[in-house]
Amino acid sequence: MSNQNTQSGALVDSSPTSIVNRKSEIVNSEVFFKNLGRIRYKQAWNLQEELFQSVVDAKVNHTQPKPQFLLFCEHEPVYTLGKSGNAQNLLIAEHVCKSKNIDYYPIDRGGDITYHGPGQLVAYPIIDMEEFRVGVKSYINKLEDVVIQTLESFGITGEKDEKAMGVWIDAQHPAKARKICAIGVRTSRFVTMHGLALNVNTDLSYFNYINPCGFTDRAVTSMQKELGHEVYFQEVSDRMKQAFVEVFGMEFVG
């Protein structure tokens, strides 16, 4: 299967599946939810690949009910470089990463380089977009909406930037704009993997060793930094889980 990058940073498979003439109603909203807790990136990536393939296989073989998944987790410190990213945006050598106990992986999502680590809430939806009657652009918009609704519950105003995927604070003021959530996805046959990473109580110093998402002129932030105090992580997780229900119409099972 051939892949191509969209300008949004999503990696999209050019398979023949189409969502032309979509109905407005959701076909299958059932999603298995699992909180993986603290987990190394490679272990979670392997699990994603396994679940992703199970959804694709079910779709190809017309298996019903089709499995779909939403994974939440935190990672140990890691830098990931998207397929369309520039390795020069990692500002330290790989052996320095190892000396600092930071993993590094070039991976198969769209977008550039980002950081994952403790205090950051990562969400990996592995769903069939056709079941939710959305295309790639709408799917990414909905991921942004999930984060914006989550932030709103804590008195933080998150915003979208038409030129840069993710969720921002003060997006319309370039000198003040700062990213609070990165988004990078891969799709094949309209099945998704990878997802979003919201900085909750993240140690932002790790971003000093990269050009986050390829930007050299924009800052990063966290909920803790914006609010001036540490945030109860489980409360953010619970609110984001509810936001997936409200935005996507998911029904959690299992």
* Helix, strand, coil in percent for the chain, rounding step 5: 30, 30, 35
DSSP H helices, the chain, are 41-60, 94-99, 136-152, 223-227, 233-248
Contact 198, 225 (CB under 8 A): no
Tokens standing for residue 226? 């914006």
Q: Of 33, 29, 26, which is closest to residue 238 (Cα–Cα)?
A: 33
73 is catalytic: no
- The residues near 120 (Cβ < 8 Å, ≥ 6 apart) are 74, 75, 197, 198, 199, 200, 202
73, 97, 181, 213: which one is catalytic? 213
- The residues near 20 (Cβ < 8 Å, ≥ 6 apart) are none
Q: Which residues are catalytic?
A: 213
